[in-house]
Amino acid sequence: MGWGKCVPEKVLTNDDLAAMVDTSDEWIVERTGIRQRHVVGEGQATTALALGAAREALERADADPREVELIIVATLTPDHPMPATACQVQNALGATRAGAFDLNAGCSGFVYALAMGEAAIAAGTYRTVLVIGADTMSTVVDWQDRSTAVLFGDGAGAVLLQATLEEHGVLATLLGSDGAGDELLMIPAGGSAQRASHDTVAAGLHHVQMNGRQVYRFAARMLPEATEVVVRDAGLTLDAVDWIIPHQANARIIEAAAQRLQLPLERFVINVDAYGNTSAASVPIALCEAADDGRIQPGQHLVLVGFGAGLTWAAAVLRWPTAAPEAQRAALHRIWRAWLYRWAALRTGLWRGLSRLTIWLGRLKQRGRRGG
């Protein structure tokens, strides 16, 4: 398994937000635990973050992008309605043998995608699957609405799943949904139900709208419930779980879940203070941080659990690999990957240039016929 994360360089602190909207650092920290968040700059989109996380995961696993057979990107903020962000990542990686698609399950998206990737490998259809959670929530937030503006940030996290005979990896998964709660957390316009127009833009219907009180109640109930069920499905008890890595929506939700599960807060990976709610990216970013700083050790049991728009929830139990992939890195492989990325960029430029030239020549030819 390989893992990687990517966040924008730009940091927006609570004090920065206080200059934009009626709020304060004390108010935000008290209600959410958030102190800052990373946000994309002008011209930076979801694909850039997803690609950064994917490359780091491939580097960690010392894997050839051409060995990747499937790429799943969980996101609710794709670069475009079509094509899929996953296809942009596939192209930039030079993963020429991979299928690619996006998945939208809100903040549960990464764990949903992880379950899909694990199922594809378990079925024997694929051996290597790249799973990414990436969102640029700053692009869909109303920065004048303090009830949502203070919550969200941008980022991406990725894991590379590979078939193995070893007794580690994904042990159990759980997926759930309740569409009756769709209006509690949604972006009303921009789809086929409410098509983009001057009126929808003026009304702010392309921004995140949330019933915070109801979403909090749902999350505080579902996080511990999903954790208990998936741990039982894995044939384990909570005592055997070393780390719970929840969706980083609000520190108060995580604290409430810890109390209900009767577990010390020290067994939860929490980084919401530094990143805010990065939607589908929050669970993999927290996973990567805990793995990088040595908190997660080989053979330990982890629970990943998410909840979000839909309403959706998802959980997975993992046993962390016993071998450290970074010890297997090879300088030659790193050079190869760097060359492959450059070739992919060159190929894309040539393809688009030729396409535009073909269109231009076709139009020129049509004009010549009309003139004749």
Query: Rounded mean pLDDT of 247-270?
Result: 96
* 87 is a catalytic site residue: no
Catalytic residue among 6, 87, 104, 107: 107
Q: In this model, does residue 324 exceed pLDDT 50?
A: no
Residue 219 pLDDT more than 50?
yes
- Of 2, 3, 1, the C-alpha closest to 283 is 3
Question: Is the entire prediction scored with pTM above 0.95?
Answer: no
What pLDDT, in 10s, does the model give residues 55-71? 999 999 999 999 999 99
CATH class for the domain made up of 2-328: alpha beta
Cα separation, 116 vs 282, whole angstroms: 18
∠ CA 313-316-322, nearest 5°, is 160
C-alpha span between 87 and 89 (Å, rounded):
5
Q: What residues does each domain of the chain span?
A: 2-328, 330-366
pLDDT number for residue 358: 81
Contact status, residue 172 vs residue 155, Cβ threshold 8 Å: no
Which one of 247, 250, 271, 301 is the catalytic residue?
247
Pairwise CA distance, residues 160 & 322, whole Å: 15
| pLDDT tens-digit series, residues 79-125 | 999 999 999 999 999 999 999 999 999 999 999 999 999 999 999 99
Closest CA to 145 of 90, 84, 202, 208: 208
Distance of alpha carbon 184 from its chain centroid, rounded?
Answer: 21
pLDDT of residue 325: 46
| 107 is known as an active-site residue | yes
* Short-list 81, 12, 31, CA closest to 255: 31
Structure tokens at 231: 């741990």
Active site (annotated) includes residue 277 = yes
First to last CA, the chain: 64
Catalytic member of 91, 271, 277, 301: 277
Question: What pLDDT score does 323 carry?
Answer: 57
Question: What tokens does 37 get?
Answer: 């968040």
CA 152 to mean position of chain CA atoms: 13
